[in-house]
Chains A and B, each alone.
Chain A
């Protein structure tokens, strides 16, 4: 009985052909649908789903927009802080340069005067030279060097030693050439005025001349010493 049943399935009867046609249509439809799914557009997406899709895209868009705003704010903050620290660095650099000139750890150049003290009879001692330097400082000299070797700073000392003068430990020879950077006319005036530098030197037996210069370059450096006892108080 099963034998004839299977055999009947092989005979191309009308119902079987109908079944075959239906299955063929099904196969075709499946392949077509799968193929349709492969091309990735939204033409076969239902309207409701499209609306949902659009909503979720909108939400994502909004979220990302907020994120962009936050990140922009962060970036701006970072940029401005960078700018601030740049400015601070620039100021610190400027300050360091000013202090370096004051401390005599860097060379300096600018307008100034050159004072030449002739002392043939060796009458000028350290105190006279210090007076001369004080005179220049009083007139606003910002950087002073003697004979191009001794830079005069706050700690510089003047010492008499065997007819010679030591300035900050360096022996200086006659004639003394003092280079000072500052306002040339003010400095020259301070040197020349009655009872000033020139008068004092002349009284002591030497001669002094002063020349204004547009550009004085001081290359002598002071010896840098690290303070051993003094500490910043703040």
Chain B
């Protein structure tokens, strides 16, 4: 319950203060968000399977975001930024879909 409240507060704060993304963070934020979403969906799946561990979630969330941002940074440095970020998004997207499918199977048995 508390995490949901945290999410709601975050969204409300975003809508309320309309923060601008710092220029340095701009290339990494979209990828970081996708990575974080992957961690969140994974956590939801774990929650459904009753093996949710907050420590695992915190570590996976932070490491996902950091690794994703680092890969984009590295890609930019290597001159393959757009390709690499596309690759990261694809991989994370596949993971999100797989986790979502697992959740769906658990809830709807389908």
Contact = CB atoms under 8 A, between A and B. Distances in A.
Contact of A21 (B6, B23, B29, B32): B6
Interface residues of B, number: 40
A100 interface: no
Interface string A26-62: 1111111101100000011011110000000000000
Chain A interface, DSSP helix/strand/loop, else mixed: helix
A19 interface: yes
Interface in B45-90: 50, 54-55, 57-58, 61-62, 76, 79, 81-82
A2 B27 contact: no
A16 B4 CA distance: 10
A25 interface: yes
A71 interface: no
A78 interface: no
Interface residues of A, number: 33
Nearest to A19: B3
B82 A49 contact: yes
B84 to A, nearest CB: 11
Interface stretch (A5-13, A102-110, A126-134, A207-215): A5-13
Chain B interface, DSSP helix/strand/loop, else mixed: helix
A31 B11 contact: yes
Q: Name which of A15, A23, A47, A49 has the most chain B CB atoms within 10 A of its CB.
A: A23
A22 interface: yes
Contacts of A96: none
B53 to A, nearest CB: 9
B107 interface: no
A28 B14 contact: yes
A28 B19 contact: yes
A22 B21 contact: no
Contact of B18 (A24, A27, A35): A35
A5 B53 CA distance: 12
A24 B6 contact: yes
Contacts of A18: 54, 58
B33 A35 contact: no
A48 B82 contact: yes
B9 interface: yes
A203 B43 CA distance: 137
A94 interface: no
A36 B19 CA distance: 9
A17 interface: yes
A10 B1 CA distance: 6
Q: Name which of B7, B61, B82 has the most chain A CB atoms within 10 A of its CB.
A: B7
Given A26-B10, A44-B21, A20 B81 contact: no
B17 to A, nearest CB: 9
7 contacts: A15-B54, A17-B2, A22-B36, A22-B57, A24-B7, A32-B21, A46-B81
* Pairs of residues from A and B, 7 with the lowest C-beta to C-beta distance, nearest first: A31-B14, A20-B6, A27-B10, A24-B10, A15-B54, A27-B11, A23-B7
Interface of A: 2, 5, 9-10, 12-13, 15-33, 35-36, 43-44, 46-49
Given A16-B3, A19-B54, A49-B82, 10 more contacts: A10-B1, A19-B2, A20-B5, A22-B62, A23-B40, A24-B6, A26-B10, A26-B37, A27-B8, A33-B33
